[in-house]
Amino acid sequence: MSAADEHREIAAGFTARVLGAADWEVPAPVAGWTARDVVDHLVTWSRAFLAGLGVALPEVPSADDDPVGAWLGHAEGVQALLESPEGAEVVEHAHMGTRPLGDLLAMIYVGDVFLHTWDLARATGQDEHLDPDRCAAMLAGMEQMEDVLRSSGHYGPRVDVPPDADVQTRLVGFIGRDPAWRPPA
């Protein structure tokens, strides 16, 4: 699957949760975050990441003011980038080496959108089910780099889950989320 196709598919799942959110101030499974913060994180860090590679996306509203508009504009900008010749240009990343920009985004950003889909869905009481094949592939890849991932500060400590848990539950626990987490009543 191309990076553009992968982003289109994963972003559509996140977009459905964005459009289904009724309260942006509810707590999210990431300590100290709200549903709004999940959107802000994806929009803000990826734009900064791209800027570090010399790539600018079109401006979008702030997630503080308009989380739906921020996400929709951002996802559209990333999709346009991935479908453009610029998405195929080779870039140099300090930790990921030399590779096409689209491949780099698929490896780092699209996976983050996939994982945060669970966060937003759980926070807002929506369908939180993720593609089990993608969960299995991500978990297998991430387990091989556990020390690097944990030392990056981007993942919390692994949350223990039963050995016979489904792959989504194991992935959620691996990235440091409590699969049993629910927003306070």
77-95 pLDDT per residue, tens: 999 999 999 888 888 776 6
Residue where a domain terminates, one of 83, 103, 128: 128
Strand partners, 100: 90
pLDDT (tens digit, 9 = 90+) per residue, 91-101? 877 667 788 88
Say what the pTM is: 0.92
CATH number, residue 121 = 1.20.120
Looking at the structure, tell me whether residues 110 and 66 fall in a common domain: yes
Residues 155 and 116 placed together within one structural domain of the fold: no
**Which range marks the domain in which residue 150 is found?**
130-185
pLDDT at residue 4 in the model: 93
Do residue 113 and residue 32 come from a single domain?
A: yes
Average pLDDT of the chain?
91
**Residue 100 shares a structural domain with residue 177:** no
Statement to judge: residues 85 and 137 lie in one domain: no
Name the burial class of residue 70, with classes exposed (0-12), middle (13-18) and buried (19+) by CB atoms within 10 angstroms of its CB: buried
Total structural domains within the chain: 2
In sequence order, the 6+-apart residues with CB closer than 8 A to the CB of 76 are none
pLDDT (tens digit per residue) in 157-185: 889 999 899 999 999 998 889 999 998 87
Is the pLDDT score of 150 beyond 70? no
Query: Which long-range contacts does 100-104 make (Cβ < 8 Å, 24+ apart)?
Result: 100/3, 101/53, 101/55, 102/2, 102/3, 102/4, 103/3, 104/53
Are 72 and 87 within one domain? yes
Do residue 98 and residue 121 come from a single domain? yes
Q: How confident is the model at residue 153 (pLDDT cuts 50, 70, 90)?
A: low
Compute the distance between CA of residue 72 and CA of residue 85 in angstroms, rounded to an integer. Answer: 22
User: Would you state the pLDDT for residue 1?
Assistant: 81
Alpha-carbon gap, residue 63 to 54, rounded angstroms:
23
